[in-house]
């Protein structure tokens, strides 16, 4: 077996690409049936079990699990673009914020409707794929999904959106305000979103050793 191959369930998979992942090893592979698939090798059995359960919980919107073997899952590959790349390109082009922000809001609502009471967890835009076949946005990393408030997802996502490089631009602030208002209109609590967003912005400041980024003044608040 070469460095461009990985063993799985007694066969050799050809590695096409390594995906960015902090906790696990994730690869786009070519299987012996000549089909592209995603191989995710987990650091722990607990993480694998949690991801597998959540993939089932969100089954109609998540990648399909094809096989399991030796601490790894072989999953459906969803061809398309991750939203971080699209977000960066949209800002470079100076495009309006409304379309993508509305798509994200609709995607989140669809996911929460599938599993009431659960939140997604890792809200990095890399985990959202615009499916080139269907045009729908798919979420692909459920390892951290758990019971919790959807406002925590919203706050973390909005904090990430402000702090992707280049950080805290006027375009990003407009995007965040528009998306936050959309989420509040969909029924989320404005003050909870604000609370979790500020918590995550503080964590990002410490983690990346950058100046604190604050929410725009236009960020929605609860109307009493």
pLDDT in tens, the chain (224 residues): 456 999 999 999 999 999 998 889 999 999 999 999 999 999 999 999 999 999 999 988 899 999 999 899 999 999 999 999 999 999 999 999 999 999 999 999 999 999 999 999 999 999 999 999 999 999 999 999 999 999 999 999 999 999 999 999 999 999 999 999 999 999 999 999 999 999 999 999 999 999 999 999 999 997 64
CA separation, residue 146 to residues 28, 53, 135, 203 (Å): 26, 10, 27, 20
Cross-strand bridge partners of residue 68:
73
- The number of residues in the chain equals 224
List CB contacts of 168: < 8 A, sequence separation 6 or more.
162, 213
The pLDDT value recorded for residue 6 is 93
Kindly tell me the burial class for residue 82, based on how many C-beta atoms sit within 10 Å of its own C-beta (0-12, 13-18, 19 or more): middle
Assign 23 to helix, strand or coil: coil
Look up tokens 């989320």; give the residue.
Answer: 188
Peptide bond connecting 166 to the previous residue in cis, omega within 30 degrees of 0: yes
Q: What is the pLDDT of residues 122-164, one digit of tens each?
A: 999 999 999 999 999 999 999 999 999 999 999 999 999 999 9
Closest listed residue to residue 77, CA positions, set 148, 3, 17: 17
Give the global pTM.
0.93
Mean pLDDT of the chain: 95
Query: What is the C-alpha separation between 84 and 66, in angstroms, rounded?
Result: 26
Please state at what angle helix 150-163 crosses helix 190-208, rounded to 10 degrees. 50
Region of residue 121 (phi > 0: left; psi between -120 and 50: alpha; otherwise: beta): left
């Amino acid at each position: 077996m070469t460095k461009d191959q990985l063993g799985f369930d007694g066969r050799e998979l050809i590695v096409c690409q390594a995906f960015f992942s902090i906790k696990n090893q994730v690869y786009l592979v070519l299987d012996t049936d000549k089909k592209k698939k995603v191989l995710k090798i987990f650091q722990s059995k607990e993480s694998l079990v949690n991801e597998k359960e959540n993939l089932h919980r969100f089954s109609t919107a998540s990648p399909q699990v094809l096989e399991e073997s030796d601490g790894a899952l072989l999953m459906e590959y969803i061809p398309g673009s991750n939203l971080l790349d699209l977000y960066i390109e949209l800002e470079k082009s100076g495009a309006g914020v409304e379309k993508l922000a509305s798509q994200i809001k609709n995607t989140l609502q669809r996911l929460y409707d599938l599993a009431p009471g659960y939140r997604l967890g890792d809200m990095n835009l890399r985990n959202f794929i615009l499916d080139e076949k269907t045009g729908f946005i798919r979420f692909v990393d459920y390892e951290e999904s758990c019971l919790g408030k959807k406002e925590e997802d919203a706050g973390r996502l909005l904090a990430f959106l402000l702090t992707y490089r280049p950080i805290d631009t006027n375009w990003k602030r407009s995007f965040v305000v528009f998306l936050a208002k959309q989420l509040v209109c969909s029924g989320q609590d404005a003050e909870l979103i604000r609370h979790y967003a500020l918590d995550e912005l503080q964590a990002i400041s410490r983690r990346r050793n950058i100046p604190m980024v604050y929410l725009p003044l236009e960020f929605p608040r609860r109307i009493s």
